[in-house]
């Protein structure tokens, strides 16, 4: 396994690199088997909605480990082709983070706890 899920300083559980990753390398490939319609997504509880990703017109219920990637305003991965891809070299033991503004539904908001110098505090879906 290239990543491990464990307690995070950012929030709850997080995903951590179990090896070094190079910039541009796929860190996590998403499981796309759990897709919902807009109506199905609306019926979910707030806790369940936390694990939804809105990408390319699809609504995906994130599975482990992807669902435990925490938000950061200074992320080390970005979403490309339903994968978390390294934006820079990532060292073994480092927490895997992503900017969720592209994963939230349009106008959806969430609180950010990343603690980075440039933290936006509130993330707004694009």
| Residues belonging to the chain | 126
What's the pTM? 0.90
The CA distance from 84 to 3, in Å, is: 12
Sequence spans of domains, the chain: 3-124
Q: Summarize pLDDT for 95-122 with one digit per residue, the tens.
A: 999 998 877 877 888 889 998 998 999 9
Cis peptide before 65 (omega within 30 of 0): yes
Cβ(109)–Cβ(90) below 8 Å: no
Q: What is the mean pLDDT of each run of 10 residues along the chain (126 residues)?
A: 95 97 97 94 90 89 95 95 96 96 82 90 86
β-bridge pairing 95-98 and 70-71: parallel
Q: Name the phi and psi angles at 100, rounded to 5.
A: -80, -5
| 45 SS3 class | coil
**Domain 3-124: top CATH class:** mainly beta
Query: How far is Cα of residue 93 from the mean position of the Cα atoms in its chain?
Result: 17
């Amino acid at each position: 396994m290239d990543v491990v899920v464990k307690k995070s300083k950012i929030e709850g559980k997080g995903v951590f690199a179990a090896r070094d990753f190079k910039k541009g390398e796929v860190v996590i490939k998403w499981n796309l088997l759990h897709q919902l319609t807009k109506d199905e997504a609306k019926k979910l509880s707030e806790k369940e909605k936390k694990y939804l990703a809105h990408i390319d017109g699809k609504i995906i219920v994130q599975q482990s480990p992807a669902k435990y990637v925490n938000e950061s305003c200074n992320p080390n991965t970005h979403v490309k082709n339903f994968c978390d891809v390294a934006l820079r070299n990532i060292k073994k033991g480092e927490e895997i983070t992503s900017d969720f503004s592209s994963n939230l539904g349009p106008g959806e908001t969430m609180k950010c706890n990343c603690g980075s110098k440039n933290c936006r505090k509130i993330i707004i879906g694009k």
